[in-house]
Amino acid sequence: MKALISGISGQDGSYLAEFLLARNYQVFGLERRVALEDQKYRRRKDVAVIIPCDITNYSSVFAAVQQIMPDEIYHLAAQSDVGYSFKDPFQTLDTNVIGTMNMLEAFRQLVPRARFYFAGTSEIFGSSPPPQNELTPMRPRSPYGVAKLAGFHLVRNYRESYGLFACSGILFNHESPRRGKEFVTRKITSTLAKIVRGEETKIRLGNLDTRRDWGYAGDYVEAMWLMLQQPKPDDYVIATNETHSIKEFLNEAFKQVGLDWEEFVEQDPQFVRPADVQELQGDYSKAERVLGWKPRTKFKDLVKMMVEADTKPVEMPSE
């Protein structure tokens, strides 16, 4: 089996690649020519075939898919920073809408019998009250959410119009030690590590009362794969059915190193979004019923994992 992963350099792409490789897949990854140098998966490029590709350029996507002719396509590549989407909505929509359209069209034209997964997001629910499931009204509150909702509807349209096996995973927030430092959870744990080492004295954050459904990315990639193993394509919420505030995350993180977070955190207006989603909490009962999937990693264990990864001593290379 050949699997194509767009966005293989990111958090989800790296965990998914490892998951598929353990199941004897041939794994191919699409990556921008200029990728972030701190992406952890770059250390394992020898185990997957990496193909340079600009997903906003159809000819680039077409050529990559034609070269691979995959059995499964996992479209994870996106501009996924909600805050940044307010600063550059054009790039966000170009990457997340046009990029998805290009992937779907290459899928339809070249490998219509393959199976396609689209990385959706809980941000499409926006202001709809929790808990949110597959039938919850979608009211996004950011350019990122709007772009991902467009992608979600494109996937559904291609499935219904052309009879393609195309699924969307509506994943709620999922974190890990591989999470980018621009995301609040990793910003907290990475800055906490600097505080412990005496390199920083403060963490500057926005709204501390927003609540999110946080799970572990390593658990969630299994759900992506399970969606493509079903007899029929469908869309699924992947979550933990728990909600925690940023204050709770701070409390758990700082507790790991014996510090009081309130002594080190400052609220900074520059990190407050023009419109924010106050609470997201997913109901994953459909995924449990149909896919047999449920989260394994608890919130406290996830925070501990991230803090330990960022605060552990850096190993110097041996000479």
Write down all domains in the chain, each with its CATH number in brackets.
2-175+214-238 (3.40.50.720), 184-212+244-276+297-311 (3.90.25.10)
ω into 143 cis (within 30 of 0): no
Say whether pLDDT at 171 is over 90. yes
Count of CA atoms in the C-beta half-sphere (13 A) of 211: 12
Q: How confident is the model at residue 272 (pLDDT cuts 50, 70, 90)?
A: confident
**Phi, psi of 30, rounded to the nearest 5 degrees:** -95, 135
E strand or H helix that includes residue 237: strand 235-238
Instruction: Please give the average per-residue pLDDT across 293-318, as a whole number.
Output: 87
H-assigned helices in the chain: 11-21, 58-68, 82-87, 89-93, 99-110, 143-162, 184-196, 217-227, 246-255, 285-291, 299-311
What pLDDT, on the 0 to 100 scale, is given for residue 274? 82
| 144 among known catalytic residues | yes
**Nearest Cα residue to 220 out of 159, 164, 179:** 179
Over the chain, what is the mean pLDDT? 93
Which one is catalytic: 25, 74, 144, 284? 144
Alpha-carbon distances of 116 from 32, 39, 164, rounded to whole Å: 20, 24, 8
Say whether pLDDT at 122 is over 70. yes
For the entire predicted model, the pTM comes to: 0.93
Residue indicated by tokens 């005496």: 198
Which one is catalytic: 121, 185, 240, 243? 121
The token pair that represents 10 in the structure block: 């990111």
Structure confidence by residue, pLDDT tens digits, 52-101:
999 999 999 999 999 999 999 999 999 999 989 999 999 999 999 999 99
| 189 among known catalytic residues | no
Give strand pairing partners of 230. Answer: none
Structure confidence by residue, pLDDT tens digits, 244-268:
999 999 999 999 999 999 999 998 8
Instruction: Please give the average per-residue pLDDT across 97-106, as a whole number.
Output: 98
Q: How confident is the model at residue 296 (pLDDT cuts 50, 70, 90)?
A: very high
Which one is catalytic: 123, 158, 175, 297? 123
CA distance 190 to 206: 17
What pLDDT, on the 0 to 100 scale, is given for residue 33? 62
Instruction: Please give the average per-residue pLDDT across 295-307, as a whole number.
Output: 98
| 121 among known catalytic residues | yes
Alpha-carbon distances of 316 from 4, 216, 307, 313, 319, rounded to whole Å: 34, 28, 20, 9, 9
**Phi, psi of 107, rounded to the nearest 5 degrees:** -60, -50
